[in-house]
Structure 1
Amino acid sequence: LQNPEISGIEYQQGTLYGYELREYLLEKWNRKCAYCGTTGTQLEIEHIKPLSKGGSNRVSNLAIACHSCNQSKSAQEIEQFLSGKPDVLKRVLSQAKRPLTDAAAVNTTRWKLYHELKSIGLPVEVGSGGLTKFNRCRQNLPKTHWLDAANVGKVDTLIIEGYQPLLIAAKGHGTRKICRTNKYGFPIRYCSRTKIHKGFQTGDIVRAVVTKGKKIGTYVGRVATRKSGSFNISTKSGLVQGISHKYCQFIHRKDGYAYRH
């Protein structure tokens, strides 16, 4: 939202209004009750100055409150409701008038990113957080990062059967430590300075086709190497130890990231 602190016809109306407003207020009030600070419960939109006493639907007159506080306050003036909590009263009134923290910086960054991507010629869809949530909830989809990304912009129907996200995690390029230590800080194991053993290094993705012995089978995953040539492979089903380097073939060289479905 470029300028969320507006009211009336200036604020976008229609089906998305409730989603946009609620998401904005949740972010503004840090997803906790404005009055008691509780989290992890159902939060409701609350009028700081009651409508019955001249309050408006302006965003700066709205807060997020738990059901208990919302019912307790009812149609009271906030000064009356928080008469015994002057610090809370001061904080609520101050935060109510303040726009969403860092909104200007976020808006500037997002539009810069948008124009850069458009200049490359990529198809780019944009939308607000409220629109994304509306699209996801309308299709009864679970909240995950990849489904949120897929629901950005105009989405009629999202067909996700047969699709699986590739999860990428940064793992770095090892360590510069010369030894491992116990919980007291004393060295217990020496770290070899040699990273590559038998042509492989820890972090490579390999396929091992074992044709004899107790571990006959095919194993695909991240390899942990040893100088002896007996490797460990982390597969989807678990860790497989003691696989000879002779059975291993490269799929992907180590690049500092881990990949899984």
Structure 2
Amino acid sequence: MQRVFVLDLEKNPLMPCHPARARELLNKGKAAVYKCYPFTIILKNRVGGDVQPAELKFDPGSKTTGIALVGQFERGQEIVFGANLNHRGQKIKQDLESRRANRRARRNRKTRYRPARFYNRCRNKGWLPPSLMSRVFNVETWAKRLQRLIPITSIAVETVRFDTQKMQNSEVSGVEYQQGVLAGYEVREYLLEKWGRKCAYCGAENVPLEIEHIQPKSKGGTNRVSNLTIACRNCNKKKSNRSISDFLKRKPTVLKRIKAQTQKSLKDTAAVNATRYAIGNVLKSFGLPVTFWSGGRTKFNRTQQKYPKDHWIDAACVGETGANIYIPNTLKPLIITAIGHGSRQMCRVDKYGFPRTTAKKTKVVKGFQTGDIVKAIVTKGKKIGTYIGRVAVRTNGFFNISTKNGTTQGISWKSCQRLQSVDGYNYLT
């Protein structure tokens, strides 16, 4: 289970406690629930206390970012909180493309519509598309939230999945981790991702794969990643030092695919690399020591400690401190999904791009807003029971509540008690 965050009477962060200790404090009336996600309690009669150093770690990804909080105790380093943060970059891209298509269609039909203004726009230095900036904002938001819940003393972040400098020049010096047994992890992990973790020649999966030169070194090939692929042992032996054109002369389709694949870069890697500087600058603004590491080092730490592959575990294994860290078997990550703060669209449109609904009415009804986590206790009628979940407000005062068992409609606002306001994220424990 996750540790429970603790605040003192003045809302200053203390060290997280065990869930059993939190239940004891709540049952004795010494603490109250401050927040549901992540679960936080506030003490009623205590100010200040002893705290230990805690490091916040991120493993940014194109679709999911791993988050880990590592406490540095006398018994060693132990993870106290883990989470997988799912981004909504693809959804943002689809929405923008849909809006662009609707506007273009209306202009092409010469209907009454404002003229195009895209020639008047200019991009600031360091501009990133909204789909990428949403990832940066998500990391910034959760770094701020966790800083208010636990005394963080340093931040470690994996800025790139693959150290491209290391891949281009294996003789890089001055960086200690690139020597010894870690050398080659960057290249191998990159190639496994690029070629789908299967043999490039025969498509074999779940077999030992070897790094192979597309153009043999004996015939002028280099060690650059653009000239490398992965192959099973049998294909590697059969190809030997033959050129790829000679080896695949009877398989023109495979030859064409491999030549095209060598020119492609990883889409997800490109997204991560594009946002690494923005994420780094955001984290530096917190005024804490920030260190940056590569994905090769992360995988090395994780495999040496025999931990399973997961985003939050990768985050815990980032950097030098990730080489020796304890992760309890009972700890389960909090699944956080970015859902946004609603839509700026005033009304929905039909397939032709014209309005099909009326303009939005008031956003807050009887003090509640769509997306709030509420607890509704119904004492009479056909819907007797207790419901805890997300609420969808209605102007008539009868709301819909979505729980794990489905959606219940027509719950009066008088029966509802808000547990946590909508904050742009969905949670799953």
The answer to whether TM tops 0.5 is: yes
Deviations along 1:160-205, whole A, 9 cap, x unmatched? 44453250322441452258x7x99999987763433333232222
1:168 to 337, 341, 353: 337
Report the Cα distance in structure 2 between the residues aligned to 1:102 and 1:248, rounded to whole angstroms: 42
Aligned residue in 1 for 2:192: 26
Coordinate RMSD, CA, aligned: 4.6
1:193-204 equivalences in 2 (<5 Å) = 193-204=361-372
How many angstroms apart in 1 are the aligned matches of 2:205 and 2:352? 38
* 1:246 Cα deviation from its structure 2 partner: 1.0
Task: Return the offset for 1:147.
Answer: 2.4
Among 210, 234, 250, the alignment partner of 2:402 is 234
Q: Mark the structure with the bigger radius of gyration.
A: 1
Structure with more contact order per residue of length (Cα contacts < 8 Å, sep ≥ 6)? 2
Amino acid at match of 2:336: L
The aligned amino acid for 2:407 is L
Offset, 1:248: 0.7
In structure 2, do the counterparts of structure 1 residues 37 and 219 end up closer, same or farther at CA, with 3 Å as the change threshold? farther
Deviation at 1:226, TM superposition (A): 2.2
Answer whether contact 2:298 2:314 (CA < 8 A) is retained.
yes
Q: Quick one: structure 1 residues 94 and 192, their matched pair in 2 at CA, closer, same or farther if it must change by over 3 Å?
A: closer
1:37 Cα shift? 9.2
- Tell me the distance in 2 between the aligned counterparts of 1:125 and 1:258: 29
- Shift in alpha-carbon separation, 1:259–1:35, aligned structure 2, 3 A: closer
For residue 135 of structure 1, what is the aligned residue in structure 2? 301
Matches within 5 A, 1:171-210: 171-174=340-343, 175-177=345-347, 193-210=361-378
Give the stretch that moved more between structures: 100-109 or 42-51: 100-109
CA offset digits 1:120-148 (Å, max 9, x no partner): 33343432112222233334444333222
Say whether the 8 Å CA contact 1:79–1:89 is kept in structure 2.
Answer: no
Distance 1:95 1:5 in 2: 15
Q: 1:102 to 1:81 in 2, by over 3 A?
A: same
- Report what 2:392 is aligned to: 224
Q: Kindly state the Cα deviation for residue 223 of structure 1 after the two structures are TM-superposed.
A: 0.2
Residues in 1 aligned to 2:245 and 2:282: alpha-carbon distance in whole angstroms: 49
Q: How far off is 1:58 after superposition?
A: 2.8
Name the aligned partner's letter for residue 333 of structure 2.
Answer: Q
May I ask how many residue pairs the two structures share in their alignment?
256
Aligned to 1:211: 379
Normalising by structure 2, we get a TM-score of 0.46
User: Match of 1:122?
Assistant: 288
The equivalent residue for 2:182 is 16
2-structure distance, mates of 1:115, 1:192: 37
2:276 is aligned with 1:110: yes
- Counterpart CA distance in 2 for 1:159 and 1:13 is 27
Contact 1:171–1:256 (CA under 8 A) maintained in structure 2? yes
Range that drifts further, 115-124 or 233-242: 115-124
Gaps of 5+ in 1: none
Structure 2 distance, partners of 1:252, 1:9, is: 51
Which residue, out of 241, 258, 261, partners 2:426?
258
The answer (yes or no) to whether the contact 2:398–2:410 under 8 Å persists in 1 is yes
Cα distance in 1 between the residues matched to 2:304 and 2:405: 35
Of residues 309, 312, 325 in structure 2, which corresponds to 1:146?
Answer: 312
Query: CA contact under 8 A between 1:32 and 1:38: conserved in structure 2?
Result: no
Task: Check whether the contact 1:35–1:92 (CA below 8 A) recurs between aligned residues.
Answer: no
The amino acid that maps onto 1:239 is T
Secondary structure of 1:121 counterpart: coil
CA deviation after TM superposition for structure 1 residue 6, in Å: 2.0
Distance 1:24 1:94, change over 3 A: closer
CA change 1:9–1:54 in 2 (3 A) is farther
The TM-score with structure 1 as length reference comes to 0.70
CA contact (8 A) 2:199 2:205 kept: no
Moved more, 38-47 or 132-141: 38-47
Call closer, same or farther: CA 1:104–1:188 in 2, change over 3 Å: closer
- In the aligned structure 2, how far is the partner of 1:184 from the partner of 1:120? 47
CA distance in 2, matches of 1:68, 1:158: 40
